[in-house]
Chains A and B, each alone.
Chain A
C-alpha cells in the first residue's frame, strides 16, 4: 500500500514538474526527462521490481502525452527501470559522481532504446547526436543533484 502511494506521488510530481517546465521554459522540456528520473529513483531506492512497475506507469503517461505509438516509452522505460534496479544492487552508486554516471548511462540507454524501437516499429528517423548527448547529460546532472540533496536530508534525519 505504501509503495502504491509512493508510486502515485512520484508520478504526480513528475507530471507537475513537466507541466511547470512546459509553461515556464518550453525549450528546456526535451532536456529534462523528469519521468525517467522518477523511474530511476524508484529503481535505486526500492529495487528492480518497483523500478519496472514505475517504468510501466511513467512510460504509459509519457506515451499518452506524446504523439506517437502508445506503449513505446512504456516498454523502454520498463526495461530500463528493471535494469537500473538490478545494476544498483550490484554496484555502489550512492556517491555524487557515481550517481551522475549511473543516471547518465541509464538515460542514454533509454533514449537509444526508444529511438531503436521507434525506428523499428514506425520507421521514425532517429534523433540527432546533439540531442542524444544533451538530454542524458542534463537529466543526469539534475538527477544527481536531486538525489544528493535527498540523501543529505535522509542522513540528517538519521535514516
Chain B
C-alpha cells in the first residue's frame, strides 16, 4: 500500500505550490518593483532561450534577405545613400549650431562622448501580461547598461527607461505607456510643465497642468523637461491629441507617444554617465 494515496498526494503538492506562491507574494509586495532573488534567477535562466530564438529568427531573416531579396539591395542601397546624405547635412548643421554655444575642443569631446554612449539593442520579448508596460532587450550589464538609463527608438523618440532585473546580457525596459511610469515633461513653447504617465491603452496622459494654463492645443509637441533627473531635457515624447477639463483644477490632456509599438525592433540605450547626459538639468 502506498504511503500517500495518489489523490491525497496531488492535493498536498498543490497546497505546497500555493503556499510557495503566497510566500513569494508576501516577500515581493513590500519590495514594490525591486526584483526578488528568485525573479532574477528565473530571468537569468529563461532569457537566454529567447536570446537563442531571436538569433535564429535573425539568421533566417538574413538568409531570406541575402538569397531571395537580392534584387532589392541596389534600391535599398540607393535609399540609404540618400538617408546618409541627409543625415550628414543635418549633423553638420547641428555641429554648426553647437559651435555657436561651445568652444571647438569642448564640443569635440562632447560629441565623442555621445557616440560612445549609445548601445544599440534588439527587443527580445514584450510583456506577456500587458505589452504596453515593459519589454526585454538584448543588452545588459556587460554592455554597461544600468538602472534608469534612457531608451529611445531608432528615430530618437523616447520609449522608456531601464528597470531591473538586469542580467549580463538582458535588461527590462519600462515603457512610458506603463500606468505606473512617470516622466517629467514640458509642452513646447513654454506652455506648461507636468508629469506624463501611461493610460493603460497604449496612449499617455499629461498630469498636473493647471486648468488655468492658456494656449495648450491639439498637436502641441511634448518634450522631456529633465526635472525628474532620469530623462534628459528635450527628448521628443509625443503630441497632444485632446485637451479637456477646463474649469477644473487640472486639465485632462491625452498624449499620443511618437514611438510605434510595431516598429520597436531596434532601440538605443543611452549609457552616458548621469552628470554628462546631454542637456540634463543641473541640480537646483
Taking Cβ atoms with an 8 Å cutoff, the residues of A that contact B are 12, 15-16, 18-20, 22-23, 25-27, 29-30, 33-35, 47-49, 52-53, 55-56, 59-75, 78-79, 82, 114, 121-122, 124-125, 127-128
Contacts and interface: CB of A to CB of B under 8 A. Distances in A.
B50 interface: yes
Contacts of B50: 15-16, 18-19
Given A61-B42, A121-B25, A68 B14 contact: no
A23 B128 contact: no
Contacts of B268: none
A68 B129 contact: yes
A53 B163 contact: no
B91 interface: no
Interface in B159-185: 163, 165, 172, 174, 178-180
B179 A125 contact: yes
Nearest to B21: A75
Given A65-B128, A67-B174, A121 B29 contact: yes
Majority SS at the chain A contact face: helix
B41 to A, nearest CB: 9
Interface residues of B, number: 52
B265 interface: yes
A72 B126 contact: no
A114 B21 contact: no
A64 B53 contact: no
Given A29-B126, A65-B136, A16 B49 contact: yes
Contacts of A56: 17, 20-21
A26 B126 contact: yes
A29 B178 contact: no
Nearest to B261: A26
A61 B131 contact: no
